[in-house]
Amino acid sequence: MSLVLASLIGLAVGALLLVVFPRAHFGFWLTLASSVLGFLGAAKSLASGEVVELSWAWTVPYGSLHLRLDPLAAWFLSLLFALVFATVIYGRAYWKDLPSGKLSAAWGFFCCLVLGMAVVLLAANAVLFLVSWEAMSLAAFFLVTLDSSETGFRAGWIYLVASHASVAFLLAFFLLLLGDSNVADFANLAAPNAAARHAAFALALLGFGLKAGLVPLHLWLPEAHPEAPSHVSSLMSGAMIKMGLYGILRTASLLGPPPSWWAWLILGAGAFSAVYGILHACGQRDLKRSFAYSSIENIGLMAMGVGLFSLGWLRESHALCLLGLVAALFHAASHGVAKGLMFMVAGTVAHHAGTRDLDRLGGLARSMPWTAGAAALGTLAMAGLPPMSGFVGEFLLLLGALEAASLPALRVVAPVVLAVVGFAAALAAVTFLRAFALAFAGEPRHAAPSHGERMGGLAFPPLLLAGLGVALSLGAPWLVLPLSSVARSLLGDGPWLPRLAVEAGLAASWLRWLAASCGAFLLLAIGASFALRRMLASRRTAAPTWDCGFLGANPRMQYTASSFTLPILRLFPQLFPLKERFQPPAGLFPKKARYAFTVADAVGDRLLPRLSGLPRVLGIFRLGPSGEVHLSVLFVALGLALLLLIGVLT
Amino acid sequence: MNAASILAPTALLLAAPVLPAVVLRIKAAVAGRRGPSLFQLYFDLAKLWRKEAILSATSTVVFVAGTAVAALATLGAALLVPVGWQKAPLAFPWDFLLVVGLLGVARVATLAAALDTGSSFEGMGASREALFSLFTEPALLLALGCWATLSGKRSLSEIVVSLEPNLWSGNGGALALLAGAMFVLLLAENSRVPFDDPATHLELTMIHEVMVLDHSGPLLASVEMASAWKLALFSSLLVQTTLPFAELSPLVRAASFATGLLVVAVAVGIVESTMARLRLVKVPQFLLGALGMTVLSWLLLGN
């Protein structure tokens, strides 16, 4: 805990230094050192499995500066600090050309975002939790709108509305559980009756689900992620949406075994999000928008893990409980690392080629080999393929499903989870292969300004995260035990819990086999590639790509990202409305023909417009013209006075 | 681990190129021709391995590495599959999930190599292969998971070894569905009619072959070798999960295993001779049907 506290103080001081002297070295180094300290502290706490609490009084009503570092928080903190380390290095290179004033603001909000997330994870008091939650959300809003472009503002507003809806649900959630205690520490929160308990679970799912981006609460994600600077997208997608997952798990630890509708709902929403997210990811031309949708898929997979965990909890099945939770947590880290990597790659590509439009990219591997190498590993990780960590996460989830098959009441769960995970993984492989191959392989599809690769700033952090992805996969057997201590801390105590350690040992033994095979495969794959390359070195001839006898081929005739995935998109017209414009060639001497399609979000573009009457209905609550600050202040004052009056009278 | 558990998989990997030749012989026989020798693929492989490679000037290291990784991953998956109802060289709990993963790696590596040439034809093939994989991968996962649940075992070797001789008596319907789905998967994953036509020479209608248009020399040899291994892998899975022969004597097992593989190859040959390739838009529906069959067989399994 002392290391984590030192790192928080270091981050705060580093933020101040970066705001005052945005280009100086010491703020940067201090922030980096703090993230290393924080990572070490969190990892140490996770390894020991102990719970440390610190508490100071706070003058805010119901508030206390109550920090609690338990295995659940430590796991997410480790992920957060690892990502901060990489993103700070990347950010320094990425923001090199920003004017000083803007740079100060950017680093200030960046550190505020990091501190907000760290305190969200540590907070054991509802007020402190909400304040840091708000700090995190607002800092991210300012970072999204940093470029002050029109689309950036639109995205920022959508994000802000979603964040505030989330906070509103969470506020109601905490108020419901507060009872008569005058300090809203987590330990004091309890549901007064069964109905309130159900309501609390529902509110938590809405509030945290909005942050996590579970469908249909996902609309802010594909808007905000592409607009943020790339390393901020890394942090938002890698760590911030995981705060929703953390919150859902924390709710379960606060309130005890969830009701069964909640377990089924979260499993179902997870499965639907996985399929929905990856289908939309596959249809996007914008690299970062595609990655943002893929985050929805991965949050869905994690939610499925939480669903299996809850079902296991309700049915007192150790194996299902453990495998579901370990799958969700492991996949959170694995996705955080891999998606952090891919967003940085997208930023480097955009910086290098001047566009993020996949249909215009191509052939970048030759001018940026290091980034391409990192992207290749990231692609495997995101596709859930061995030897990367994504495969281990999905492996654990599938084990959970197969374990469920042995419970009579849950037999139907297994084939559905298997089919959903298999489909999502296959489509994720296609989506990320498309992103990798069409950006890095082939010929450039349009003339791009070339900057040359800067190894230090922009290429190193993705490589670092790629290494971390490999390490996570190979080190998975040793992570199961610490993760099972998370399960123990969540489940409280029950007579069936001692068996949990046995199950964890079993899972670790399976993962040892898997990690050994993955490691061997990785080494052999590298060896085989080099051997084949060497063998060909003396007897190879370069020639143009075989053009099937058509001599006029040019780079614009290559398959594009759109043409690559259009057959897939056409299969799901309900989930995936395509807007097509087709002007066919006409006449004996056709001159002009065009075909274009854009993809719509079934929820955002079909469902939401049906609610267009809602603002008018809700307008009856509006007492005056909107946008008048003095009126708003007056209403706030009147409202307060009214509440005071009620308080005095009762 | 005894000598047989090393010898049998080695023999299967070495004999794998005979299977595609059997398919060709059957097709030739149906068409009234004699067809190539059963060992033709060995001669082709030896010749290709000695030749020089012509590499597209567009391609990068991804092309060579993708080809190597695809072959290696297929080999790795094949090593996890038991041969002749006895334990595979590599067997551990839940190894069948790794089989699915390694086949996925092989596919992604092949697609990456194809797209690396910047050819629009290879892009087209890659796009179709990607489309099919959306259904074959979950179907394979479900089929293998179904076997695991049915037998209550965790590794592919244990599953195959533990299947009871009276397996079919209780679960006939479910098993028939499962075997049917596995056969459809075998055809789809190995680019066979009615999903793909390995014999066509029109680039627009090919899928797997068009993806390897730019492979030549040793690279083409490793693609051909890997596809022979993959056919052997799927056939051996189909034979060993359909016929519960684990308790017979080793010699009978070896003989019935070899016969089983030949029967599968003959069946593939007959399908290829009597059916035309499906229209591309029909393929996903057909594969979705196979996926539905695996789900159905899962639900039908009584316990």
DSSP secondary structure letters along B239-303: HHHHS--TTS-HHHHHHHHHHHHHHHHHHHHHHHHH-PPPPGGGHHHHHHHHHHHHHHHHHH---
Q: Are strands B53-56 and A540-543 parallel, antiparallel or unpaired?
A: parallel
B164 is a domain residue: yes
Which chain B residues touch A433 with a CB distance below 8 Å? 108, 111-112, 115, 130
Asked if B108 is an interface residue toward chain A (Cβ–Cβ < 8 A), one would say: yes
Residue of A nearest to B281 (CA): A567
Residues of chain B contacting A406 with CB distance shorter than 8 Å: 149, 152
pLDDT 10s digits, B212-234: 989 999 999 999 999 999 999 99
In our burial notation (b when 16+ CB lie closer than 10 A, e otherwise), range A274-308 reads: bbbbbbbbbbbbbbbbbbbbbbbbbbbbbbbbbbb
Provide the 10 A C-beta neighbour count for residue B121. Answer: 24
Q: Which of A529, A568, A570 to mutate to test the interface with B (most CBs of B within 10 A)?
A: A529
**CA–CA dist A12, A14 (Å, integer):** 5
* The total number of structural domains that make up chain B: 1
- Nearby residues of B296 by Cβ (< 8 Å), 6 or more positions away: B174, B177
Count of CB atoms situated within 10 Å of the CB of B2: 8
The answer to whether the Cβ–Cβ distance between A533 and B64 falls below 8 Å is yes
Query: Which residues does A292 contact at the CB level (< 8 Å), separation at least 6?
Result: A221, A222, A224, A225, A226, A233, A237, A281
Cα torsion at A353, A359, A363, A369 (round to 10°)?
A: 60
For the stretch A129-145, pLDDT in tens is 999 999 999 999 999 99
Eight-state DSSP code of residue A236: I
Task: Report the alpha-carbon distance of residue B248 to residue A415 in Å, rounded.
Answer: 32
Q: Which of B64, B131, B152 has the CB atom closest to A532's CB atom? A: B64
- Integer Cα distance of B10 and A528 in angstroms: 19
Please compute the mean of the pLDDT values over residues B26-41 and round it to a whole number: 93
Q: Which one of B108, B205, B222, B279 would you mutate to disrupt binding with A, by most A Cβ within 10 Å of its Cβ?
A: B108
Rounded to an integer, what distance in angstroms lies between the CA atom of residue B174 and that of residue B168?
9
Q: What is the pTM of this model?
A: 0.95
Whether B241 has its CB under 8 Å from any CB of chain A: the answer is: no
The token pair at A359 is 């249909």
Residue A631: what pLDDT? 82
For B133, the closest of A401, A426, A528 (CB atoms) is A426
Q: Could you say which of B94, B130, B140 has the minimum Cβ distance to residue A399? A: B94
Q: Which two tokens stand for residue A295?
A: 């985050």
In A, minimum Cα distance to B298 occurs at A415
- Could you tell me which of A211, A213, A208, A214 has the C-alpha nearest to residue A255? A208
Closest-CA residue of chain A to B102: A386
* Partner-chain contact A441 B67, CB within 8 Å: no
Structural domain for B271, as ranges? 45-50+58-300
Question: What distance in Å separates the CA atoms of residue A289 and residue A292, rounded to the nearest whole number?
Answer: 5
Number of neighbours of residue B38 by Cβ within 10 angstroms: 15
Helix, strand, or coil (residue A96): coil
The torsion angles phi and psi of A551, rounded to 5 degrees, stand at -85, -10
Of all residues in chain A, the one with the smallest CA distance to B110 is A433
Element (H, E) at B198: none
CB contact under 8 A, B100 and A422: yes
Kindly report, residue by residue over B63-112, the tens digit of the pLDDT.
Answer: 999 999 999 999 999 999 999 998 898 899 999 999 999 999 999 999 99
**What's the CA gap between B130 and B302, in Å, rounded?**
35
Alpha carbons B44 and B51: distance in angstroms, whole number: 11
Q: Of A128, A114, A334, nearest to A236 (Cα)?
A: A114
- Closest by CA to B209, choosing from B122, B286, B271, is B122
- The CA distance from B40 to the nearest CA of chain A, in Å, is 24
Cβ pair B62:A440 closer than 8 A: yes
**B145 to A541: CB separation less than 8 angstroms, yes or no:** no
Chain-centre distance for alpha carbon A505:
29
In a domain? residue B211: yes
Collapsing DSSP to helix, strand or coil, A589 comes out as coil
Contact A354, A364 (CB under 8 A): no
Q: Which residues of chain A have pLDDT under 70?
A: 448-456, 493-496, 623-627
The whole-angstrom separation of Cα A308 and Cα A322 is 9
Check: CB of residue A212 under 8 Å from CB of residue A266: no
Q: Domain limits of chain A?
A: 1-196+214-256
Across the interface, whether the CB atoms of A365 and B61 are under 8 A apart is answered yes
**Which residues does chain B have within 8 Å of residue A531's beta carbon, measured at their own beta carbons?**
68
The rounded distance, in Å, linking the Cα atoms of A507 and A319 is: 9
Chain A hits for B118, CB-CB cut-off 8 Å, are 362-363, 441-443, 545, 555, 558
Q: How far apart are CA A334 and CA B222, in angstroms?
A: 33
CA A509/CA A399 separation, integer angstroms: 13
Residue B19 lies in a domain: no
Which chain A residues touch B130 with a CB distance below 8 Å?
Answer: 430, 433-434, 564-565, 568
Residue B98 within any structural domain of the chain: yes
Residue B277 lies in a domain: yes
CB A404 within 8 A of CB A414: yes
> What pLDDT does residue A450 have?
61
Phi-psi bin for A355: left (phi > 0), alpha (psi -120 to 50), beta? Answer: beta
Q: Which of A514, A545, A562 is best to mutate for the B interface (most B CBs within 10 A)?
A: A545
Beta carbons of B290 and B184 less than 8 angstroms apart: yes
CB contact under 8 A, A422 and B137: yes
Which residue, A349, A98, A83, A100, is CA-closest to A226?
Answer: A349
Task: Specify the DSSP class assigned to residue A186.
Answer: G
Please give the pLDDT value at position B302. 60
pLDDT digits (tens, 9 = 90+) for A18-75: 888 888 888 899 999 999 999 999 999 999 888 999 999 999 989 999 999 999 999 9
Q: Residue A241 has what DSSP assignment?
A: T
Give B165-206 pLDDT, tens digit per residue: 888 888 888 899 999 999 999 999 998 988 888 777 676 777
- Average pLDDT over chain B, rounded to whole? 91
Q: How many CA atoms lie within 13 A of B254 on its CB side?
A: 10
A562: closest CA of chain B, how far (Å): 10
If you measure CA to CA, which chain A residue comes closest to B123? A559
Instruction: Kindly determine whether residue B214 and residue A546, on different chains, have CB atoms separated by under 8 Å.
Output: yes
Sign of CA dihedral B111, A238, A324, A263: negative
- Residues on chain B touching A422 (C-beta within 8 angstroms): 100, 137-142
Asked if the Cβ–Cβ distance from A385 to B123 is below 8 Å, we say no
Cβ within 8 Å, pair A564-B76: no
Q: What is the mean pLDDT of residues B40-55?
A: 94
- Cβ separation A563–B127 shorter than 8 A: yes
How far off is chain A from B39, nearest CA to CA, in Å?
25
The DSSP secondary structure of B74-124, one letter per residue, reads HHHHHHTS-BTTB--SS--TTHHHHHHHHHHHHHHHHHHHHHHTT-HHHHH
Interatomic CA distance for residues B270 and B267, integer angstroms: 5
Residue B134 forms contact with A (CB below 8 Å)? yes
Q: Do A380 and B105 touch (CB under 8 A)?
A: yes
Q: Which two tokens stand for residue A530?
A: 């080099």
- In degrees rounded to 5, what are phi and psi of residue A576? -140, 80
Q: Tell me how far apart the alpha carbons of residues B146 and B143 are, in angstroms, rounded to a whole number.
A: 5
Q: Could you report the predicted ipTM of this complex, rounded to two decimals?
A: 0.96
Q: Are residues B119 and A440, on separate chains, in Cβ contact within 8 Å?
A: no
For testing contact with chain A, the best of B50, B51, B55, B58 (most A CBs within 10 A)? B58
For A524-543, the pLDDT digits (tens) are 999 999 999 999 988 888 88
Domain assignment present for B32: no
- B14 inside domain: no
Tokens 């030739």 label which residue? Answer: B28
Reply yes or no on whether the pLDDT at B1 is more than 60. Answer: no
> What Cα–Cα distance (Å) separates residue B250 from each residue in A97, A465, B3, B255?
73, 50, 13, 9
Specify the DSSP class assigned to residue A285: S
Q: Is residue B39 part of a domain?
A: no
**Structure-block tokens of residue A467:** 């290494």
The residue of chain A with its CA nearest to that of B219 is A532
Chain A residues touching residue B214 (CB < 8 angstroms): 545-546
